[in-house]
Amino acid sequence: MIPVAEFKQFTEQQPAFKVLKPWWDVLAEYLTVAMLMIGVFGCTLQVTQDKIICLPSHEPRENLSEAPCQQLLPRGVSEQMAGLREVSGLKNNLDLQQYSFINQLCYETALHWYAKYFPYLVVIHTLIFMVCTSFWFKFPGTSSKIEHFISILGKCFDSPWTTRALSEVSGENHKGPASGRVTATVEASAGPGKANEGEKEKVLVEPEKVVTEPPAVTLLDKKEGEQAKALFEKVKKFRVHVEEGDILYTMYIRQTVLKVCKFFAILVYNLVYVEKISFLVACRVETSEVTGYASFCCNHTKAHLFSKLAFCYISFVCVYGLTCLYTLYWLFHRPLKEYSFRSVREETGMGDIPDVKNDFAFMLHLIDQYDSLYSKRFAVFLSEVSESRLKQLNLNHEWTPEKLRQKLQRNARGRLELALCMLPGLPDTVFELSEVEALRLEAICDITFPPGLSQLVHLQELSLLHSPARLPFSLQIFLRDRLKVICVKCEELRDVPLWVFGLRGLEELHLEGLFPPELARAAALESLRELKQLKALSLRSNASKVPASVTDVAGHLQRLSLHNDGARLLALNSLKKLAALRELELVACGLERIPHAIFSLGALQELDLRDNHLRSIEEILSFQHCRKLVTLKLWHNQIAYVPEHVRKLRGLEQLYLSHNKLETLPTQLGMCSGLRLLDISHNGLRSLPPELGLLQNLQHLALSYNALEALPDELFFCRKLRTLLLGYNHLSQLSSQVGALRALSRLELKGNRLEALPEELGNCVGLKKVGLLVEDTLYEGLPAEVREKLEEE
C-alpha cells in the first residue's frame, strides 16, 4: 500500500508561498487531495482484493451465441431452479487452478479497460493537476523571482520602519497638516483615542497572525534604520529586475489553460466510459479443451464501489474545472500586468508611490487576493518620500547636536560656520544650533529646508555647492531680510534656485556654473531687480558677454567678479553703466587687451585682470581717468614690457605684474610715488632701474624667481620697506646698505649664489630669524652678535 504522504513532493512548497495562492488555488489543492485519496483508495482495493470471480455458464454449447449471464438476470427463484440441469465436462484434480486461470484470463480479455484502470487513471490525472498547480513554484525561471519577492515581502511587512511610517501618516491624517515634524508618540496621544485604536488594529491585524505592538511607536535604533535602508535598495533593484518581463504571468496562464484542457478531456471520457463499470461481465474464451467450458459469467467484485467512486471523482473534477474556469476569467477580465497603488496613496497620503507593471504587478494582484495589507505595507518601500524620511531619521541618529557643534569654526568673513559635505541629506539637528551664522552645504542632494530653519535666527550666510535646495515660501519670507551672503555652485546656471533672486536683503551673491551652449552667447541670467542691497556679485561661468541683468543693480553694485574659465568675454560695454563699481575682477576671460569700457568707471579702486592673454598694456595711460584706482593686478598674463607712461598713475598704491614675460622695467616706474606694493616676481628680469629708489612709500617688493645678478644701491633708499623677496635669482652678493632698511621684517634670499651675508643685517631692528629666509650655512656664517640680535624676541 502506498501512503498519500509519498505524493507530497508534487505539491510541496515553502510555507511562505501561501501568500501567492488565492482562494481558488487553495480550493483546487484540497480538491486534488480528495481526488488523490479516491485514486489511492481504489488502487489499494485493486491490489489487495480479488479483481474478478468467474463461473462457467450453464448454457449448452449450441447456445453459445446467447449471453452467458442471462440466467443470472433478475427473475423468479423457481424458474432458475427449474432451468438447472446437470452438465458433464472434463474433470481433473486442478479445479482451483482452473478457476484462477479463468479469472485472470477473463479479467484481461473481457473486462473493459476503464473498469480495470479507473483508480490508476484517477491517480495519474490528479498528479498532473498537482504538477500544473505548483509548476511555477518549481520552474527555475520563476521560482527564483518568487522566492526573492516573498523574502523581501516578509521583511517589509515585519520591518519596524513600515509600522512607523504608517503610524506617522495615520497621525497626520487625524491631526491635519499643521502637525509638522513630530514623533508618532505625540500623535498617538494627541489624536482621538478610538480613532487611533481603530487605525492601528487595521494596520496590525493579519489573517492567522496578530502582531502585537505597543500603542506608541518609539524611535528606530541605528541597526533597524540600516536594515530598512538596505530594504529600500533591495526593493529598487528587485523592481527593476522583475518589471522587465512577464514570465510569471505567462507561466500562470499556461498552467491554468493546461488544467482547463485537462479538465474537459477527463470529464468527456469519464462520462462516456463510466457505464462500462458493470457488476456482471460475460466472458467467452476458447478453454473448453482445458476446462470444458467456453462461456463464463464473471462478477467484477469492486464494480459497485468503483461506480460510486467514479461519481464522486467526476463531481470533484467538475468543481475543480469550475475553479479553473473562474481563474481564466480572473486572468483575462482585468489588466493584471498593471497595478495601481491609488487607494494606498489616498489612504496613506504618500502620493509618490509609483504604479508597477508586468510580473511585479501580477504578484501584487495575487497578494491582494490573500491579504491587501501586504501590498499596503510593501508600498512604503516604493515611496521616495518614505525613503527620504528614513534617511532623515538615520542622519539625525548619526549627526547629533553635540557632534555638529564640534565642526563649528570661524570662516574668512569671521562668521561662525557649520560646513557639511557629501551627506545623503540635511540632518534636522542642524537647526538646533541657533548660534550658527554661516551654513555651508556641499554635495548634498535634494535638500528641502524644513520649518526648523526658522530657528537659525543668526544665520547670515548660506553656501550651496552642488546642493540643489528647495525653500518653502514661508521660509523665503524668513530669509528675505536676514540672509546677507549666498554662494551657489551648480552644473548649469539655470539650476540656480529662483528663490535666491528674491532675497532682497542680500549683500553678496556668488554664482558658479555654466551656461548651456544655446544660452552662452546671450548670457541670460535671472533678473536682479529685487536685490536692492546687493553690493558684491561674483559669476563664474562661460558667458561671452556681461549678463544684461547686471545692470539691474548698477546703482549700488560695488564689486563685480567675472571668472570665465578661459572662455573669451567679448562684449563688455554694459560695464559702463556700473557707475558705483569699486572692485572689478575679469579672470580667465580670454582678454588680449584691456577693455576700454573699464576706463569709464570713475569710482573704480581695484582692477584684477589675471589669467588672461594680455601682451601689451599700452592702454594703461587711460587709467588716469580712473582717479580712485589704487590697485592694479595684471599678473598671470603674457606682458613683455611696461610702457613709459606708467608714470601717469601717481595714485596707484599696489601693482601686480608677476608671472609675466618682463625682462626690463621702465625708469619711469620710479615716478609712481604712491606705490606701496610692487610684485614683479616670476619674470625674466636681469637688472633693475636705479629709479626704483624714488619709491619712498614702497613697503612690499617681490623680486623672486627672476634672473637678477645685482641690486642697485638706490634700492635701499626705500626706507619704508618691510618685505623684500629676492629668492631664486642669480645674486652673488648683498649690499651692506641693506642695514639702512630698519623697518624690514621679512627678507628672502634662498636660491641665490651668495657666499656670505653682510653683518649690517644686525642694523635691521625689525628683522628676526623667523623673517629671514636663507640657507642655514649662510646664516651660521653671520657673526655671533648679529645672530643674537636676530634671535631676540
As to burial, measured by CB atoms within 10 angstroms (0-12 exposed, 13-18 middle, 19+ buried), residue 129 is buried
574 contacts 545 by C-beta, under 8 angstroms: yes
Helix, strand, coil percent content, the chain, rounded in steps of 5: 50, 15, 40
789 contacts 762 by C-beta, under 8 angstroms: yes
**pLDDT tens profile 311-354:** 999 999 999 999 999 999 998 888 888 888 888 888 777 777 88
Strand partners, 679: 656, 702
Q: What is the DSSP string of 368-416?
A: HHH-HHHHHHHHGGG-HHHHHHHHHHHHHHHS-HHHHHTT-EE-TTS-E
- What is the rounded (10 degree) CA torsion for 349, 352, 358, 360? -60
Strands 631-633 and 485-492: unpaired
**In the prediction, which pLDDT does 15 show?**
67
The predicted model gives 283-303 an average pLDDT of: 77
Dist CA 157 CA 494 (whole Å): 43
The cell numbers describing 1, all together, are 500500500
735 contacts 757 by C-beta, under 8 angstroms: no
**In the prediction, which pLDDT does 518 show?**
65
Sign, CA torsion 61/65/66/67: positive
- Average per-residue pLDDT for the chain: 82
How confident is residue 745, by pLDDT bands cut at 50, 70 and 90? very high
**pLDDT tens profile 87-127:** 454 443 456 777 788 888 888 888 888 888 888 888 998 89
* Cβ-based neighbour number of residue 337 at 10 Å: 17
> What percent of the chain has a predicted confidence (pLDDT) above 90?
36
Question: Which of 372-386, 415-429, 640-654 shows the lowest mean pLDDT across its residues?
Answer: 372-386
How confident is residue 690, by pLDDT bands cut at 50, 70 and 90? very high
Phi, psi of 735 (to 5 degrees): -60, 145
- The angle, 0 to 180 degrees and rounded to 10, between the axes of the packed helices 358-370 and 140-158 is 60
Count Cα atoms within 13 angstroms, Cβ side, for 625.
11
**pLDDT tens profile 400-454:** 999 999 999 999 989 999 999 998 888 999 999 999 999 999 998 888 899 999 9
**In the prediction, which pLDDT does 614 show?**
93
Strand partners, 488: 464, 511
**In the prediction, which pLDDT does 670 show?**
92
pLDDT at 137 over 50: yes
**CA triplet 211, 217, 219: central angle to 5 degrees?**
125
Dist CA 721 CA 696 (whole Å): 9
316 contacts 56 by C-beta, under 8 angstroms: no
Query: Which of the pair, 684 or 425, is modelled with greater confidence?
Result: 684
Dist CA 215 CA 135 (whole Å): 43
**In the prediction, which pLDDT does 442 show?**
93
pLDDT at 202 over 70: no
Count Cα atoms within 13 angstroms, Cβ side, for 763.
12
How confident is residue 292, by pLDDT bands cut at 50, 70 and 90? low
**In the prediction, which pLDDT does 261 show?**
92
How confident is residue 10, by pLDDT bands cut at 50, 70 and 90? very low
Phi, psi of 764 (to 5 degrees): -80, 90
Strand boundaries in 651-741, DSSP class E? 654-656, 677-679, 700-702, 723-725
Dist CA 610 CA 595 (whole Å): 13
pLDDT at 524 over 80: no
**Integer distance in angstroms from the first to the last C-alpha of the chain?**
110
Dist CA 420 CA 443 (whole Å): 9
Closest CA to 497 of 421, 433, 441: 441
How confident is residue 519, by pLDDT bands cut at 50, 70 and 90? low
> What percent of the chain has a predicted confidence (pLDDT) above 70?
84
**pLDDT tens profile 614-645:** 998 988 888 888 889 999 999 999 999 999 98
**In the prediction, which pLDDT does 179 show?**
37
The predicted model gives 510-528 an average pLDDT of: 75
720 contacts 694 by C-beta, under 8 angstroms: no
